[in-house]
Amino acid sequence: MHLGVSESMRECEYSQISTRSSTPMETPYKKKTSKKRKWEIFPGRNKFYCGGRIMMAKQTGVFYLTLVLILVTCGLFFTFDCPFLALQLTPVIPVIGGVLFLFVLGTLLRTSFSDPGVLPRATPDEAADLERQIDVANGSTGYRPPPRTKEVVINGQTVKLKYCFTCKIFRPPRASHCSLCDNCVDRFDHHCPWVGNCVGKRNYRFFYMFILSLSFLTIFIFAFVITHIILRSHRNGFLNALKDSPASVLEVVVCFFSVWSIVGLSGFHTYLISSNQTTNEDIKGSWSSKRGKDNYNPYSHGNIFTNCCAALCGPLPPSLIDRRGFVQSDTPQLAPPTNGITMYGATQSQQSHMVSDTETERLPPHPSSSSRAASQ
């Protein structure tokens, strides 16, 4: 009797299914999705290069003009003026010029290619939660929408936080939304087309060092090109000196029309750093005494030295947008079964139980149990 039951069970055993089968029903179900970097779906108007490592504004034409002017002017100076000046005066001149040129180029690229301090936009859940908080705080009754401002006190001064309808966040103090890049930038100073980027909390010190070193480089080239022409004119006359070195004439013209704006801009930002202000705040007159007797700058540390140290020597804040991170996929994926059978409409836990039960049914009878059944 037991032998008959054993034989009938053997007849009902499942045959092993090959996992190498290519039929659609036997292929493990797993939807492969290519991972995307966050910079590829970045909501702003920025352009990214080198896999998201370089971040710039959309309009970069003026930046390339800046780069060409610096490279061409310095190239002409090192090619046509420095050999004569090193021979007639001192070889230190091209060395100092080279150091200034490399510093200017490095600070320009650092300003142009970095994240200026872009604030991440709110997710749909965060935006909905913030809307509920606004409605609860101000009351959702009536036809007039609730106010979109908050007030915080910083060093005894009341500062209003404005709501950004694009980013769906309350902007932190000193932040502003750049209309060209379509981003909220922390400690927004201004959007500079000459560097092809916004100037904010994370790249302001590099911008200041760029314009300051560019002022020294422009004055340096202008002074020694004039010296070169004067030394040549002592030998062959002024007109012959201009004919012998036409590149020097071009350098003088470029430096003459550039030095005034560059030096003026450096002086203006030196004033802003010494008083711990931004260009945006100075233009709006945020801390002007005209707004009231008690109006003052709450971010100033009280003296010029401390303000300069805070702006130029403080720790550099990290980037908040994680532009090289991966986008988290919300698509659920089923774990592939080990036996090649796809079980549709079951959860992962149910599949594990079904797989274990199937494996139990597939196991051949133990030799000892077969012998005991035969003896009975």
Alpha helices (H) in the chain, listed in sequence order: 2-11, 61-76, 82-88, 92-113, 124-138, 204-236, 238-244, 246-275, 279-284, 304-312, 348-362, 367-375
Tokens for 151, please give them: 């007030």
Q: State the number of CA atoms in the 13 A half-sphere of 357 facing the CB.
A: 6
Rounded to an integer, what distance in angstroms lies between the CA atom of residue 57 and that of residue 49? 11
Please check whether residue 205 is in contact with residue 119, taking contact to mean a CB–CB distance below 8 angstroms. no
DSSP helix, strand, coil percent of the chain (3-state; round to 5): 50, 10, 40
Tokens for 332, please give them: 């659920």
CB contact set of 317 (below 8 Å; sequence gap of 6+): 117, 186, 201, 202
Rounded to an integer, what distance in angstroms lies between the CA atom of residue 16 and that of residue 23? 15
- Look up 308 and say whether it is catalytic: no
Q: Residue 192: beta bridge partners?
A: 197
Q: State the number of CA atoms in the 13 A half-sphere of 234 facing the CB.
A: 6
CB contact set of 337 (below 8 Å; sequence gap of 6+): 28, 343, 351, 355
Residues 192, 255, 308, 309: which is the catalytic one? 192
Q: Which residues are catalytic?
A: 192
